[in-house]
Structure 1
Amino acid sequence: MSELLIKNGRVFDPINSINGDIMDIAIKNGKIVDNISLSPDTKVIDASSMIVMPGGVDAHSHIAGSKVNSGRIMCPNDGRSGIEKRTKITRPCSGYTVPNTFAMGYRYAKLGYTTVFEAAIPILHARHTHEEFGDIPIIDKGGLVLFGSNWQVMEAVRENDIEKLTAYVAWGLSASRGYGVKIVNPGGGEAWGFGKNVSGLHDTVPNFDVTPAEIITGLAKANEMLHLPHSIHLHCNLLGKPGNYKTTIETMKLLENIKPSMDRQVVHITHITFNAWGGHELGRFRIKG
């Protein structure tokens, strides 16, 4: 009979409305029980000053794929940091800024995470991303697929063809084995190829005659038509620019009339701190969130 008592931990359990309460957690045969049902020889862990939570889920990380490997190329000496030798049950780890695949899994598991989502999978590089997923131990993995500056997406938006757009998103997720829709600086990625950027939600994307606002609303509608488990996952325009909080608020208002197809939000805005800057220049910006 396996019994465990975790004492004095700061417990976070959103489903049960527990938000940082200091509590004891009793476990018997793999299930949480009342303390009184434990035997005197129960193993006790003192979790004072520690967080106790259900298996953590990181909804936005970068653990695999092309951009991670670009980071490894940019940091060739990083492999000499964070070295952990192979053991009887673990494989060798290395890296600090960009850990190797083994370290990605082990270190997340040590932090209490069970599931991690790679938040930027280009469709053309999805196969290799999944190859790296297969090399990351212990944790479950999923991925969000990039659609924000996709040519086929922008063509369908320009044609105001929501059925075509929805079909393309469905195909893209199926082909890449992705979990959800990621939008990064919508339209700005295309402008970047010409040494430019978009200046706001209603700036026209070069060569496509569409705006970031139209891309966002189109993909949000397609997401709900497909009844996807996750809302659109949005990296707003002008991230990291002083005064961008206005664009972020405008983006939120843009989606007010789109109804979720299930019990969740319509949009998850990521990097929200970097989307909430006031001021007019980098040296004098301030947080407006």
Structure 2
Amino acid sequence: MSEAHTLPQKASAIASPLTPALGIQGVHRRYGSFVALEDVNLDIWPGEFVSIIGHSGCGKSTLLNLIAGLDHPTDGQVQILGRTITGPGPDRSMVFQNYSLLPWLSVRQNVTEALKAARPDLGGAERETTTDHALKTVGLWPHQHKRPSALSGGQRQRVAIARAFAVHPRVLLLDEPFGALDAITKGKLQDELLGLWSAEGEGGISNVVMVTHDIDEAIYLSDRIVVMSNGPRAHIHEVLKVDLPRPRDRAALVKSDTYQELKAHMLHLLGTVLATHH
């Protein structure tokens, strides 16, 4: 399927559409004789929020790990602003479904330790100010001295998001970050994420790439949705443009013809087309 490289409104001031923020070129990933990904090609443009969706085992998390630099392609390459990714870096932050917090540290210490590792250039005072801002932004200021065990699931995920945003990465990577949360908490955190991302502007977070199983979540948050084929030998089956204006209103969205058509198409892809081809 031909991809439409129309940038969201937010992106136009950040970079030229001729320069992909992320370039995934001819990527294969094999583990011994098992082929997880085969010939994956995708350009993600500055300012885009892109979701990756598909059935379990379709290589979604593998692809995200390649972008993060936690894994490496067997063939092909992954680039950020034209530079080949060879490992993790402060230009990318990742939020996992299981929070991945350090349980012996307080909420505040979880954020400051991430800043020390990712931004060693920051002085102590600037690091503390950045931590303050991140915790206030996600509503965790009153809980800053608590340990993760004293927090709810939604609050722990807020810590993970605050930690990721505090280092001001160019690219935020999300691996099903809201999958274990109840619907109300999930909705609140989705809106917080959109608010933080759109507020970052030039010099801040340019892109979000999110793995999800949730069709409604993908449509609500994304500019484009990458639908993966089933594994093994998973590849990109289709890239869907979410032609819905921002900011988006959840209640109005579900009444939109565009929303309904896109959701029906995705249900058909995942429930019929890809469900019958293993």
| Alignment TM-score > 0.5, same fold | no
Normalising by the smaller structure, the TM-score range is 0.3 to 0.5
Q: TM-score, normalised by structure 1?
A: 0.35
Normalising by structure 2, what TM-score? Answer: 0.36
